[in-house]
Structure formats: structure tokens, C-alpha cells
Structure 1
Amino acid sequence: MTAPGLFDEILARGAAREAVSDAAWLAALLETEAALALAAADAGVLAPAVAEAVGRACAPDRVDPGAIATEAAASGNPVVPLVAALRGVLRADGADEAAAAVHRGATSQDVMDTASMLVATRAVAAVTADLSAAADAAAALAARYRDTPAAGRTLLQQAAPVTVGLRAAGWAAGLDAAVAALRTWRPAVQLGGAVGTLAAFAGDGRAVRAAFARRLGLEEPTLAWHTERGRVAELATVLGRVGVAVGSVATDLVLLAQTEVGEVREDVPGRGGSSTLPHKRNPVGAVSARAAAVATPGLVAAVLTAASGHEYERAAGPWHAEWVPLRELVRTTGSGAAWLADSLSHLVVDQDAVRTALDVTGGLLLAENVTTVLRGRVDDPKALVTEAASTALDSGRPFADVLADALSGTDVSRAEIDAALDPAAHTGESAALVDAFLAARHAARHQEEPT
């Protein structure tokens, strides 16, 4: 493993970083070249001994990554110097026939695209693991705080009671949906030759392609997709959905951790300090996850822009433009998922702060519920409650007292008013919704388990 870059531990956390590293890319390119030769042998168009010699040469320690990177500029992609290096290795071993068999029938884009699918498959697995861990942590919070009333907020203002558990269940649901979307992506091999006709295989191209796909564990496409970049676009949009799910949760955590709110905090000793302020305990996990989510849409746009401009049978520039933003997109979404899993697994809910927030408005949080209680018992309950709420806000008097005065000539008692303003008694179907979500989640997990 190489030493991390200056920003990597903050903006490229998690296993996805190594999965898309230069070393991982080189390994995937070599694996692709080896699989191509072995697939040709499987299809009967190359001697097995020759294919095996090619496979043995395709080892990272037998090529110079730095030289390949430098020489890639001459051809516009790293496959050309890689193939030359492999042929040189085999000639040095005295395996001239195997040297001539390297890369036979393929074009550079076949190898690059197939390697990119291998890299992406492994990186997506890492992202999925971290995102699943984040979802599990959120689901655990939902179960633990199923019945804990909290102030629900709309447009950043208190609206009506919810429960901490229902909010956490919403987090888990969004993360689960993103995990499910990741699992729908299906990578495929690329093999078409220079213009997608498989002409260099002399009629055996489809058999080689089928064996190639089997060797690598990727799907076999019906046609080459050199300029039909749907798979790349799908990957970008699915990763964009990951960013959306991560960003939504991370934003909630950052807001809930504000000093003035203080309903949650990350309990990680030694983390969250400031270079200047001794008292700071910043929610570093949530902040870093949110940073990844903020960066994601621009990277998605860059990949989609590149993917949309491919011309004829092979693109001049747009294909090359996919490489860096796609790698950065995977790194970034992986970082967001890893940081969010860290944040949620170390999250502490301050139940005293949650209770305090319920009382901030002096009962106004239940104004809508009072309207419901008064329906049929007073004329125009909405107008009465709205006026009482306005009076309470303007005067600073408790909402319950203002309501009691407004209802003094009716049969509505103060006890009924106080009961109508009890947050714990008016969280709707929050508990049942949490139970239903957790039960459905458990059932889905059970179905996914291998029999």
C-alpha cells in the first residue's frame, strides 16, 4: 500500500481508494491481458502452453509501472506500452511465440474498458460494504430510539413531533436503497477489435469473447460498446445516488450536532478538535461524509459529459476523458460511505437535548394537533389556534396559557389542552412505522442469504 496523499485520509477514506489506485489499475490491465490469452486457448485458437506463458508474464512485478506511465503519452493510453513491455518480457524468456500472442485480436480500448470494469467491480464492492455498514448503524439507532419523541423539522423550523427512531429509520431506508441500486449495476467485458467486428479472430471472436467473460466473471455483451457508454453512465448515476443518500444523512447529523441543537455527537476520543478553539468537538465523520456528497454531482456530470460524446466506432477524446473523473467519483463516494459508517457507529444521542428541543416553542410544536382536538367543538378551530399561536409568539406567554384563555368559554378543559400538547403522546404512527421498516429490512436480508 502506498503512502496516503495529503488529503486522502479526509477525502478518500475507505477501501475504495486502494481499489482504484494505480496499482489496482495495473493489476486489472494485466489480468485482462492474461484472461484474453487464456480465453483464446479455451476457444481453441491458441495453444494452451502459449496462453499460460502469457498469463505468467502478466504479473505486476514483471513490468515497470513508471515506464508504462511515461510511455503512455506517445499513444494516448497505457495499454500500448504495457503490451510492448509484456512482449519484451516474453522475448527475454525465450518465448517468442507467446510474445506474438499477447493482445492478439484486441484493441487498446478492449483492454482498458475491461480493466475499468474489473476495477469498478471491486471498488463498488468496497463502497457497498461501507454503505451497508452505515445503513446497519442507522437501523440500530432506529430500533434503540423507536419511542423517543423528538422535534420534527420542516424548512429548518420545528413542525410536529416525530421520534428519533423514525428519523434514523429514514436514514437507513435511503442508504439501503442506494445499496440496492449499486447491486443492480452489471459490468461487462469489452471485446470487439479495432472497429467492433471481431475480424481479427477469423470467425472465432464470439467464442473467445464468451470465454473471456467467463474467465473474468463479467457479463458478455452482444455487441462491443466502444462508443455506447451506457454501462459507464449507469455506474456514474448509481454512484450519484450513493452521494445523495450519504449527503442527506450527513447533513442531518451536522445540523443536529450544532451547539445550539446538540441532539447528537460523535463519540470518538481525540477527534474533532480545532487548531485555535480548545472547546471544539466538530463532527468530523459527518462533515467529511458531507464533503464527499458535495463533490459527487460534479464528478457525475463530468463522467456523463464524457460518455455522451463518443463518435462513430471509436471516440477521439471523450473516452480518455472518462478515466480520471470516474476514478475520482468512485474514490469520493467510497469516502463518503466510509465516513458516514464511522459517524453513525459512533453516534451518541443526547436525550436531554432532544427533550429540551421539544419544549423550545412552549407547546407550539403541537398546534396542529390542538386544531384536530378542537374540530367539531369550536367554530373555525384553525383560526382560533392560529391566533393563539401568534399571540404566544408575540407575547412570549406559554401557548397552553393562551389557549386556555381563548377556550375559557367552552367545554375544553385545561387537562385536555395539556394532553393535546404532550409530544410523547402525539408522534403519530412513528413506532409502528419503525417496526414495519425493520421487519421488512430483516425479511429482505433473510432473502438475500444464500441457501
Structure 2
Amino acid sequence: MSHDRYENPLETRYASAEMSELWSAQRKHSTWRQLWVWLAEAQAEMGLPVSQAQIEELRAHIHTIDFAAADKYERELRHDVMAHIHAYGDQCPSARPIIHLGATSQYVNCNAELMLIRESLELVARRLAATIDALATFAQTYRDLPTLGFTHLQPAQPVTVGKRAALWCYDLTLDLADVEHRLAQLKARSTKGTTGTQASFLHLFDGDHAKVRELERRVAAKMGFDSTYAVTGQTYPRKIDAQVVDVLAGVAASAHKAATDLRILAHRKELEEPFEKQQIGSSAMAYKRNPMRSERICGLARFVLSLQSNPGDTLATQWMERTLDDSSNRRLVLPQAFLGVDAVLLLYRNVAEGLVVYPEVIARNLREELPFMATENILMAAVQAGGDRQDLHERIRVHSQAAAAEVKQHGRPNDLLARLAADQAFAAVDLAEVVDAAKLTGRSAEQVDEFLAEVVAPIRDHYADATATEPEVRV
């Protein structure tokens, strides 16, 4: 390994080898060659002068790319596609005359990218499904463990640990639906020609429009697509890139929200991410167990979110049939958006599968706030016992403010229940019964059950193999 050149940490440190391979030079240019083979096959099938021997010669060298030769040609020609055509032609001398016949550079560029986007989205879908499965298992385990809820990051009505995990999980199920939608909408550019008019192919087929359309259909089918974009300029619509990166940014946002919650809960010592036996939390403070995986999720997710505006800007500046300023930008944005999300989901799954829960700390934190949380139930019980709702509400407000002052100004325990017990207006209320935490979480446990049965179960069935293996997470 060379250590005197910058290396992208997404590839060397964070993302999986599987996603990195998808966006490698080898995969890209092998896909170009496969597209040239498919074009030649379709042209031969439709009567153009392309021989089977030429096709076989091309097919034999799909993966044996001479990158040094291609690089030498590109330095001379200043054109990457032509450089690879020449390098391919050197290896396939009899097929050289028919390589790229009637095509434009975007025949290989765009179609290859669409195939890579498709395969990358499929991998992201599997990563999402595996993370959903892990969160769902955690939610089921802690479906009925009461915990303090928060709104505005201030104590609120209790929920359960499982219900909170279901919130994180549900965001990912919505992301998965978006990924699946984008996959379903993805099409081939196929043989649209230099400015999208198919003029070169119309010339090859002597003005036969039906044959031009059939060629387009056949090449798309060989690519694994059942349809093509209805109209294009020189490239496939750059709207597609914007839509795809929007989805990836959505995944990043979901992960960032959950990882931030986990960091806050780690601060409260209620939940903790996995921590290996030999792991070091701090070089100075040996006792530390920092939520570094959740922090890394946030950092990588924030990077992906920062990429979201680029495809929209690129789309907006594609003058007329196309401008080339898209190329350099997209070489960075598309691969890194996928690599970033891949890394985020690997970490997220790892964290979800190893979450540590501290029920006693959760219970203690809940007890400290529980009297305030139970006031609504106390109010309703007192009204049902014959009290005046408005008078009771005012009494609870006054007692609550006084109890809060004890806690905030004097650092003493919350004495709200004692104050209410001493108030004859609440004499008919069984305060111990009303403040039972398990009875303050509403339908949290049942909502978890319903969510797992109605939303998660079909995902688990569809992606049954997604959890079979787990790539190593380098932390």
C-alpha cells in the first residue's frame, strides 16, 4: 500500500468492500465493455454487418483491461471513452472496426452508471433491511420497559424503550420504501444517440424507425431493464441523480437522528452502544466509554447530507441537451453518496445489534420526573371522584411549581406526591396506583407489536437473506 498519496477514507476506512468494488475503475470499465458487447450483439441480431467472431473476441476481453494502455491513450486523446475504445481495439483487432458503432460516449457512461446505481440501491436496500431487523429485535425485547419520554428535550409523558426504538426503525422502513420506489422507476438510456435523437442509428438502419426502436429495446433488455427513458438529451435525465441522492440523504438523516438520540441516552447512562473488551474510549481519560460509533454515524451522515444539493444544482445547469460540467461533479458525488450511506448503515446495524440497556438507571431517571408526568392521570382520577376540573388543575399547577422549586433551587427530591397527598382535594385518589409507570405508557407496547407485525414482518420476509452475513465494521 502506498502511503504518500491521499486516500479516500470512505474506501479505506468506512465503507464495505462490496460497495467500493461497485464504484471501482475495474467495474466501471468492464461494464463499458459489456455494453459494447451487447450493442454489437443487438446490431448483429438485426442484420448489421457484425460477425459472431467479432462478438466473441469482444466478449473474451470484457474483464482483461489494460489500464496502462488506456491511460496512455487518454493522455494523448484527452478523451476517456475514446482511450478505452482504442485499448479495447488493441486487444480485439478484428472487432476494432465495429466497437461503439453508432454510439456516443454517453452510451457507455450513462448506461453503466444506471446499472451501477441500480446495483448500489439494491445493496442499500439490503443494508436497510438488516438494520431494520436489528432494531425490530431490540424493540421487541424492550417493548414494555417504561422510560421517560422527551419533547423539546424536556421530560414528557413516559414511553417505552421499545416504542422509541420503533420510531427509529419506522424511519428506516420509510427510507426503504423510497429506495424500492427509485429502483422500480429506474430505466435504461440505451441507444439514444449523440443528442438523444438517435440520428446515427437511423442512418445505420437506412431510415427504418422501427428498427431503431427495436435496437433500443433489445439493448435495454440485455442490460436488465424493461423500459427506457422516453426522451433524453445527450445524457439520461440528471433529474434521476437528484432523486437518488435525495433518497440517500433521507437514509443519512434517519440514521443521524437515531444516533443523536443514542448519544443523549448514553449521556444519561440509560443506553450504551457496543464496547469491546480492549476498546479505548480516550487516550487521556481511561474510564471513558464514548459513543464513538454513534458519533461516527452522525459525522458520515452529515457528509452525505452535504452532497444532496449537488445533483439538483447539476440538473439546473444542464443547458439545452447537456453541458460537461456534470461529469467532474458526478464522479465525486454519486460514488461518495453511496459509499457514505453504506458506511452509515454498517455502523447503524452494528450498534443496533449490540445496544446495552441499563433498566435500573432508566427507572431511577423516570422516578425523579414521574410525579410531574402523572399529573394528567391524577387530574382525571380526581375529577372522576367528583372534583371540579378547573379547581383541581390550578391546585396541581401550584403544587407542581412549588415541587419544581424544591428540585431546581434547593437540589432536594421531588415532593409533589407528598404535597398532593396532603391536599384534601385529592384524598379520593390512590396516588400510588396512578403513578405506576407501567400504566403511564399508553399503548406503547401494543404499538410495537402492531408495528412489527404489520410493517416489519413483510420486510423480513422479502429480505430474508439480508441478515445472513455482516461485513466487518472497523472502529
CA distance in 1, matches of 2:179, 2:74: 32
**Residue 440 of structure 2 is aligned to residue 436 of structure 1:** no
User: CA 1:331–1:6 in 2, change beyond 3 Å: closer, same or farther?
Assistant: closer
CA distance in 1, matches of 2:111, 2:59: 16
- Give the counterpart of 1:215 among 217, 222, 242: 222
CA distance in 2, matches of 1:284, 1:38: 52
Contact 1:306 1:319 in 2 (8 A): no
- Give the counterpart of 1:361 among 364, 369, 383: 369
User: CA 1:390–1:81 in 2, change beyond 3 Å: closer, same or farther?
Assistant: same
User: CA 1:71–1:351 in 2, change beyond 3 Å: closer, same or farther?
Assistant: farther
User: CA 1:331–1:7 in 2, change beyond 3 Å: closer, same or farther?
Assistant: closer
- Give the counterpart of 1:404 among 407, 421, 440: 421
Please say which of residues 281-290 and 376-385 is displaced more in the overlay. 376-385
CA distance in 1, matches of 2:71, 2:375: 66
SS of structure 1 residue aligned to 2:369? coil
SS of structure 2 residue aligned to 1:361? helix
**Residue 35 of structure 2 is aligned to residue 32 of structure 1:** yes
Paired residues for 1:271-286 under 5 Å: 271=279, 273-286=281-294
Code of the aligned partner of 2:106: Q
Contact 1:391 1:402 in 2 (8 A): no
User: 1:103, CA displacement in angstroms?
Assistant: 0.9
- Give the counterpart of 2:125 among 124, 128, 140: 128
Code of the aligned partner of 1:22: A
CA distance in 2, matches of 1:180, 1:70: 45
Paired residues for 1:304-315 under 5 Å: 304-315=312-323
**Residue 25 of structure 2 is aligned to residue 22 of structure 1:** yes
Q: Which runs of 5+ in 2 are unaligned?
A: 408-413, 465-475
Contact 2:249 2:304 in 1 (8 A): yes
Paired residues for 1:52-451 under 5 Å: 52-59=56-63, 61-64=64-67, 66=68, 68=70, 72=74, 78-91=80-93, 95=94, 98-185=95-182, 186-190=185-189, 191-201=191-201, 202=205, 203=208, 204-218=211-225, 219-224=227-232, 226=235, 228-258=237-267, 260-271=268-279, 273-361=281-369, 363-375=371-383, 377-380=387-390, 381-396=392-407, 397-405=414-422, 407-413=423-429, 416-441=430-455, 443-445=457-459, 448=462
Contact 1:38 1:51 in 2 (8 A): yes
Residues 309-342 of structure 1 deviation map (CA, whole Å, 9 limit, x = unaligned):
1122222313442221111111111111111011
User: 1:42, CA displacement in angstroms?
Assistant: 3.3
Code of the aligned partner of 2:388: V
User: CA 1:136–1:316 in 2, change beyond 3 Å: closer, same or farther?
Assistant: same
User: 1:276, CA displacement in angstroms?
Assistant: 2.2
Name the TM-score, length of structure 1 as normaliser.
0.89
Residues 180-227 of structure 1 deviation map (CA, whole Å, 9 limit, x = unaligned):
211111332223111112122233332222111111112423333526
SS of structure 1 residue aligned to 2:150? strand
User: CA 1:282–1:139 in 2, change beyond 3 Å: closer, same or farther?
Assistant: same
Code of the aligned partner of 1:38: E
What percent of counterpart residues are identical? 23
Code of the aligned partner of 2:458: A
User: 1:363, CA displacement in angstroms?
Assistant: 2.2
User: CA 1:392–1:400 in 2, change beyond 3 Å: closer, same or farther?
Assistant: same
How many pairs align? 439
Please say which of residues 348-357 and 17-26 is displaced more in the overlay. 17-26
User: 1:409, CA displacement in angstroms?
Assistant: 4.3
CA distance in 2, matches of 1:217, 1:38: 15
Code of the aligned partner of 1:133: A
**Residue 47 of structure 2 is aligned to residue 44 of structure 1:** yes
Contact 2:73 2:86 in 1 (8 A): no
User: 1:261, CA displacement in angstroms?
Assistant: 3.2
Contact 2:270 2:359 in 1 (8 A): no
User: CA 1:353–1:73 in 2, change beyond 3 Å: closer, same or farther?
Assistant: farther
Code of the aligned partner of 1:214: A
CA distance in 2, matches of 1:69, 1:315: 24
Residues 212-270 of structure 1 deviation map (CA, whole Å, 9 limit, x = unaligned):
11111124233335263222222111112111221222111222122x33323324333
Contact 1:33 1:111 in 2 (8 A): yes
User: 1:373, CA displacement in angstroms?
Assistant: 2.8
SS of structure 1 residue aligned to 2:273? strand
Code of the aligned partner of 1:422: D
Name the TM-score, length of structure 2 as normaliser.
0.85
Contact 2:136 2:166 in 1 (8 A): yes
Contact 2:132 2:456 in 1 (8 A): no
CA RMSD of aligned residues (A): 2.6
User: 1:136, CA displacement in angstroms?
Assistant: 0.4
CA distance in 2, matches of 1:366, 1:272: 41
Code of the aligned partner of 1:52: E
